[in-house]
Amino acid sequence: MKKPVLFLAVVAISLQSFSGSPYKAGDYATDFNLKNLDGKMVSLSQYEDAKGFIVVFSCNVCPVVIKYEDRIKELHQEYSSKGYPVVAINSNDPSVSPGDSYEAMKKHAKNNGYKFEYLYDESQDVAKTYGATNTPHVYLLSKNAGKLKVEYVGAIDNNADNGAAADKKYVVDALNKLIKGEQPSVTATKAVGCGIKWKKA
């Protein structure tokens, strides 16, 4: 009788450590090592001069991502020189979402003139570790004593349909605070997005 119980306990513990709980502001994020579009492995630790990162769980086909495409590019353009580059990650399983394959990512980045890294989370481990559920889903990180502190999790702004009409620019506001050495005032938001397409069990 003892063995099954022990077995279940081990399974329960390993499941817990695997999925963890979604990152929220104040947590420390784990670095990753993911393949970029040139086939090179990229980690956040390689960005020696960065003060932090705008990590965006993204993809090629989600209509909400497409709505935000220009705004994501603008974030990189505006904030990479200030120390906060965009790092986009596609975690969708291409067998569930065929338009999100690695080859399709290359085409998508080229067609859209991406100037930031667009990484392939083939195992989906990074999305699971971070607790990402949707695209686009932003994790704003700052380098803090050699660690990656989560500063904000959520939407880019409060109007997916029309960026010009957005009157709460969560990520921009949080970045501007960080650059001034202050804490972001809003650290978590929710928005409708496309669910990340998980591998079928």
Partner 1 sequence: MKNYSFIIIAFVFLTLIAEPANGQNFSQIRMTDLEKILSAKEDKLLVVNFWATWCPPCVKELPHFQKVAKEYNKEKVLFLLVSIDFPSQIDSHLRPFLKKNNVALDVALMMDTDQNEWIDKVDPSWQGNIPVTLMLNNVKKTRKFHSGDLDETELRNMINSLL
Of 39-47, 71-79, 117-125, 160-168, which part binds partner 1 (CB under 8 A)?
Answer: 160-168
End-to-end CA distance of the chain: 29
User: 38 to 77, contacts with partner 1 by CB under 8 A?
Assistant: 63-64, 67
Pairing, β 34-35 against β 52-58: unpaired
Candidate residues 85, 94, 154, 184; the one interacting with partner 1 per rule CB under 8 A:
154
Of 52, 142, 136, 152, the residue nearest 91 (C-alpha): 136
Contacts of 46 (CB under 8 A, 6+ apart): none
For 50-85, the three-class secondary structure string (H helix, E strand, C coil) is CCEEEEEEECCCCHHHHHHHHHHHHHHHHHCCCCCC
Candidate residues 1, 5, 145, 165; the one interacting with partner 1 per rule CB under 8 A:
165
The distance of closest approach from Cβ of residue 190 to partner 1 in the complex, given in angstroms and rounded to an integer, is 4
- Binding to partner 1 by residue 193, rule CB under 8 A? yes
Q: Tell me, what DSSP letter sits at residue 34? A: E
The distance of closest approach from Cβ of residue 193 to partner 1 in the complex, given in angstroms and rounded to an integer, is 6
- Binding to partner 1 by residue 168, rule CB under 8 A? yes
Pairing, β 52-58 against β 137-144: antiparallel
- Binding to partner 1 by residue 133, rule CB under 8 A? yes
The distance of closest approach from Cβ of residue 57 to partner 1 in the complex, given in angstroms and rounded to an integer, is 12
- Binding to partner 1 by residue 158, rule CB under 8 A? yes
Instruction: Please give the residue ranges that form the binding site for partner 1 (CB under 8 A).
Output: 63-64, 67, 133-134, 154-155, 158-162, 164-165, 168, 189-195
